[in-house]
Chain A
Amino acid sequence: MKNRKNHRRSPKTVAATFALLPFYLFVLIFVLGPLIYMLALSFMTRDGWDAIGTFTLDNYVRIFDPVYIHTVIESLKLACISTALVILIGYPFGLCCAFLPGKWPSFFRWGQMLPYFVNSLLRLVGWIIILRANGLLDMLLMKLGITEEPLRLLYTYPAVIIGMVYVLLPLMFLSVQQVALQLDHTLIEASRDLGAGPVRTFFSVILPLTLPGLKTGILLSFIPSMGLFFIAAILGGNKVVLLGSLIEEQLLRAHNLPFAAALSVFMMLLTGLVSFLLLEHKRKGLK
């Protein structure tokens, strides 16, 4: 059995290796580097505006100080509430739009994507107008006679929730709609044909098959939600503090790099845990 060396393969590999190099180096230096540095920072000691290399676990311990851990818990609560609302409102929305005939799914899809080309800050401005004291919402409610006094929703917790849901909803919608569009409608027909009513069909057929989209949507809503501090700042004033706001404050104002790093690592652990749980169930669910 003779073996001829395939000399067309070597130059291919060499060329490919060179082609990959810029990407490789960029990612190594500007993505991996920062991540590793952050991890290292979280174990360092603060030194004024800088950090010195003395190993310490203080930063992590500090997270569990009452005031900070309170923020973390409140953040998680807010994230969970927002995500829950996003599921309740966004999941049916995604499904509905996927089942519409003709070009409508496409239309609504673009409808949801369009606002993304306007900076998220600007989109929240509208809510400021609506929610402020004697703003549009108040005027409407008072006109309808539902309330007598202005609700003054701006700079409250609910306002932040509204803002969060508003910004995160499209992500859930798009994920769910994309999966739902690929749903084989003959499966639904088969289910009905075999005797299942609409509710049963939903739970036995539609829900399990769109679950991946739902899970993606949950991840995409939950993961950013603790970090969107600008929503809390604009709609919640100083009353609502997120984990993200905490990091921003520590980094930009208190200049406590190690603590900010520790908080960031902590946040990544939290989101990582949630992702893992969701995806782990995904794997189990398929069996």
Chain B
Amino acid sequence: MTDTKTATPKIHTPILCVENLYKAFGDTEVLRDLSFTVASGEFLTILGASGCGKTTLLRILCGLETADSGHIRLDGKDITDAAPEKRPVNTVFQSYALFPHMTVFDNIAYPLRLRKIPKAERTVRVREMLELVQMSGYEKRYPAELSGGQKQRIAIARALVGTPKVLLLDEPLGALDFHLRRRMQTELKRIQKSLGITFVYITHDQEEALNMSDRIAIMQGGHFVQLDTPSVIYNSPANTDTARFVGESNLLPASLLSVCEEKNTALVALSGQRLSVRIGSYPITRLKQLPKDTPVTLSIRGETLQIADAIPVPSPENGICLCGTVTETALTGGIQRTTFTEDSTGISLTTARYGMASTLSAGQRISCILNHDAAVLCLNAKQNIPSPDIQEGMPK
């Protein structure tokens, strides 16, 4: 048994290659031409709303369903048609799926017994796993006697004891309360890093995804809309849907003036002013083909809109001034959000900053500074996004 504490993850080596996966149930297409690779030792999160196909993808990866077409290669071997029991892939199910008629020990030992590993070695490995998930001493308990978080950890231990090449996790923390979820996120990250096993994690909770992953794949309508590191996804969302889905985003229309490829920025006209914005994940070839004055969409994170003192600010140095009328203020979790209707576009924008209750109230005038290069170009989701345009960023 390898030393689990200091295993160095081998990154940059692809361990799982998915090619052109297609799956339909009757007339409903669930997965559409899905392709991606996962690096060895990586923590990849597949993030999407219910119904985007992520559970189906997971079931196909672990073998409980077969795709209609496409290939899956694990460590070089084609496992597309392999039965679930023949794949070195294990799953942590959303409902934990612990065997109710077996003790914790027997649950974890189950995969080892199937491989006919002798009793002595089984005991050692099970104990190791229990220690890893910090549940030593619970060997003789039954699943019904455990709490949600404890069941979760046993499920993880059971899935890891057989040292799979890839671990699939299907929204494992969904049923846990807030604090427990936070703790388990740290736990999972720790376990993953110490074992160096590749994790493919499925969730609809964007905070979880941003918090734990090396890379995130945003899944929508059966394929990946964006596959990149958390910071890129947050700061340069590929399209308006992603922008709305991850973090809080304001979407504003602007007119394209020019493109500056070297600095990866573009110049747009907004509210009668000129603003420099980042190109982000917008396909640059397509951008260069657009004529002047084409309407484009900007994604602006609430925290980048700074409320100014004067209304309006005559000529702000580092950006432009957006003015409007406040419609509502809210204070949630220590974050003050002020929503106002911007004068020139009539769109509602929300600023976010730390603070106590706002001094502003509905009906008041407000002006915000938007710095150059704070906003980012965002593809309108209604336009088609052909797969080759998606740039797969490799983990750092």
Contact = CB atoms under 8 A, between A and B. Distances in A.
Partners in one complex: yes
Contacts of B69: 1-4
A8 B67 CA distance: 12
A8 B66 contact: yes
A2 B69 CA distance: 6
Contacts of B83: 8
B24 A4 contact: no
Nearest to B24: A1
A119 interface: no
Contacts, number: 16
A199 B69 CA distance: 65
Contacts of A1: 22, 24, 68-69
Interface in A4-22: 4, 6, 8
Between A1, A2, A3, A4, the greatest number of chain B beta carbons within 10 A of the residue's beta carbon is seen for: A4
B66 A3 contact: no
Interface string A237-277: 00000000000000000000000000000000000000000
A180 to B, nearest CB: 27
A194 B69 CA distance: 60
A281 B67 CA distance: 48
Between B24, B66, B67, B83, the greatest number of chain A beta carbons within 10 A of the residue's beta carbon is seen for: B66
A89 B22 CA distance: 63
A1 B32 CA distance: 10
B186 to A, nearest CB: 39
Contacts of B67: 4
A119 B244 CA distance: 71
B124 to A, nearest CB: 35
A3 B29 CA distance: 12
Interface string B19-39: 000101000000000000000
A3 B69 CA distance: 6
B181 to A, nearest CB: 29
A10 to B, nearest CB: 13
B68 A2 contact: yes
A171 B67 CA distance: 51
Contacts of A4: 66-69
A2 B68 CA distance: 7
B262 to A, nearest CB: 43
A1 B69 CA distance: 8
Nearest to A3: B68
Interface in B63-122: 66-69, 83
Between B24, B67, B68, the greatest number of chain A beta carbons within 10 A of the residue's beta carbon is seen for: B68
Contacts of A6: 66
Interface string B46-69: 000000000000000000001111
Nearest to A9: B66
A1 B68 CA distance: 9
Contacts of B22: 1-2
Nearest to B69: A2
B60 to A, nearest CB: 12
A1 B22 CA distance: 8
B64 to A, nearest CB: 10
B59 to A, nearest CB: 13
Given A1-B69, A2-B22, A3-B68, 13 more contacts: A1-B22, A1-B24, A1-B68, A2-B68, A2-B69, A3-B69, A4-B66, A4-B67, A4-B68, A4-B69, A6-B66, A8-B66, A8-B83
16 contacts: A1-B22, A1-B24, A1-B68, A1-B69, A2-B22, A2-B68, A2-B69, A3-B68, A3-B69, A4-B66, A4-B67, A4-B68, A4-B69, A6-B66, A8-B66, A8-B83
Interface of B: 22, 24, 66-69, 83
